[in-house]
Amino acid sequence: MKKNNSREDQKNLVSSAIDAVKSTGFSKKQAAATVISFVISAALFLSGKNSEPNIFFGRSAQFLLFFIFFIFFAGRRFAGMLGRRRTEPEVVLLSILSACYFIAVFFVRNTKMFDGYMPVSIILPTALVVMLVSISIDARLGMIIALILPLGAFLSGCINAQSYIVAIASGASSALLLRRARRRMDMVKAGVVIGVVNVISAASVLLIQNCPFQFYLYILFWAAVNGVASGMLVLGFLPVIENALHLATTFRLIELLDTGTPVLRRLESSAPGTYSHSMMVANLAEAACNEIGGNALLARVGAYYHDIGKIDHPEYFVENQKLYNKHNELNPRLSATIIRSHVKLGIEKGRAMGLPNDVISIIAEHHGNSLIKWFYSAALKKEGNVNMEDFCYPGNPPRSRESAVVMLADVTEAATRTLEKPTVARLEKFIGDLFSDKYATGQLSESALTFRDMETIKSSFVRVLVGFYHSRIEYPKVSKIDTPPASPSSPPPASDQ
């Protein structure tokens, strides 16, 4: 009975710990991963000789401060201040890597090699963990982790101040070197440079400690091995992490830039209009993201794949229609259902081909929950009273800047194709109106785009369109959503608006 009660108490303790971590903006899975890291690092902090109560309480207080600090840097709310919110797989990865690091610290804490002259951090995977975080999530978080994880090891008393310096040098150089890594081989090269940094920092520590000369060669050799081996291990671990967590690393995105993938080739052959629309959206989104400091590579790849849900029924989308509009023979309600379904089909195709989660989010959010005005107007005329929700896209408004830029590029490309004899002033006014409509209908409210960003995006779109533009038929703008168009039998105005 007593045993059952204590088990219940333990369960309650764990679930209230998960609830407490969830309140900082974590999901249940993230909170669970964080609590596991908490338990492991608590064991690490309290694993030393804590017989004296003052040492025990001092250590405990240091640990709590450290862990709260860690949670707020790694957590979703604070991460918004660092550029963007962390996704669930990213926080889980961060927790697992941190836990692995602390387990390694736990095992090497009493190691005394070469008469205690060797800094213990030379055999810690600081560079490996920081490299994985920098590539899988981003280099800014990699830099923070490079400072925080060795700090945890130092505060727990498992490594001394000299070892702490070597670990920070190793971690910080890993984050810096991988900032601009574009090819997988860059990781091996970075590993060699990290090895050199390790050798320099370890040599400085040995000099300060008056280390006997005969130990230098061995210790510096292991310092170099740590860097080189980290680069090679990252090369092996990364594809596993990319596939398991569907992360949009630079390397994965560069692979997806290849327009020869089966799905893009199918898009080109079965829906040539959608294909050329997607390429143009990619040009617009990439240029704009470059200017607002967003992830231009993610925006380009997201634009390539945003309309893959149209592959199976391309003839229902105006950009693929030549003479006949299939919607002429359909009820507006059925037409809207077909148009809406390309988002869901796109998500399914993206998942089936293992696209990164960030790219799938762009597919899911590229129309937000906006209204398909043309068919809503047509249904209003035909039925008199219709539910607006039946004519809205089923997605969420974009939650990242890249996703919002693709949405704006999509609507801009589709609408400006119909603009006759465009001038720079007409384009600016026209795009400004499209942006205002998206803003007014709440489609940009969760994306963290500022008004200044929107002005920059507009100028960037105008510049790109002036270079690529070719005029087509006039765009029949629906000024009032509750005013049906004169003839619903005409083709819808834009690709799928």
Chain residues binding Fe ion by CB under 5 A are 307, 410, 496
Minimum CB separation of residue 493 from Fe ion in Å reads 13
Give the residue carrying structure tokens 């007409």.
426
Nearer to Fe ion, 166 or 285 (CB): 285
3-state class of 418 per DSSP? coil
Nearer to Fe ion, 119 or 302 (CB): 302
The alpha carbon of residue 251 and the mean position of all alpha carbons in its chain are separated, in whole angstroms, by 13
Minimum CB separation of residue 473 from Fe ion in Å reads 18
Cα distances from 334 to residues 44, 127, 295, 338, 394, in angstroms, run 61, 56, 37, 6, 15
Nearer to Fe ion, 106 or 469 (CB): 469
Minimum CB separation of residue 28 from Fe ion in Å reads 32
Nearer to Fe ion, 44 or 414 (CB): 414
For the chain, state the CA radius of gyration: 28
How many CA atoms lie less than 13 Å away from 431 in the CB half-sphere?
30
Nearer to Fe ion, 453 or 496 (CB): 496
- 145/438 Cα distance (integer angstroms): 38
CB 145 within 8 A of CB 171: yes
Tokens of 446: 């969760």
Nearer to Fe ion, 211 or 415 (CB): 415
Minimum CB separation of residue 394 from Fe ion in Å reads 12
Nearer to Fe ion, 76 or 277 (CB): 277
- 281/260 Cα distance (integer angstroms): 18
3-state class of 371 per DSSP? strand
What residues have CB less than 8 Å from 126, skipping those under 6 apart? 101, 146, 149, 150, 167, 170, 171, 174
Nearer to Fe ion, 286 or 496 (CB): 496
Minimum CB separation of residue 307 from Fe ion in Å reads 4
Minimum CB separation of residue 89 from Fe ion in Å reads 25
What residues have CB less than 8 Å from 321, skipping those under 6 apart? 273, 315, 491
Nearer to Fe ion, 79 or 404 (CB): 404
Residues constituting the chain? 497
Minimum CB separation of residue 345 from Fe ion in Å reads 11
Minimum CB separation of residue 84 from Fe ion in Å reads 23
End-to-end CA, the chain: 65
What is the full DSSP assignment across 243-297? HHHT---HHHHHHHT-TTSHHHHHHHHH-HHHHHHHHHHHHHHHHHHHHHTS-HH
Nearer to Fe ion, 90 or 307 (CB): 307
Nearer to Fe ion, 170 or 412 (CB): 412
Nearer to Fe ion, 307 or 402 (CB): 307
| Helix (H) or strand (E) segment spanning residue 335 | helix 332-352
Minimum CB separation of residue 255 from Fe ion in Å reads 23
Which is nearest to 96 in space by CA: 195, 227, 235, 244? 244
For residue 24, with 0-12 CB atoms within 10 Å meaning exposed, 13-18 middle and 19 or more buried, which class applies?
middle
| Helix (H) or strand (E) segment spanning residue 312 | none
3-state class of 392 per DSSP? strand
The overall longest dimension of the chain from CA atoms, in Å, is 92
∠ CA 278-283-289 to the nearest 5 degrees?
115
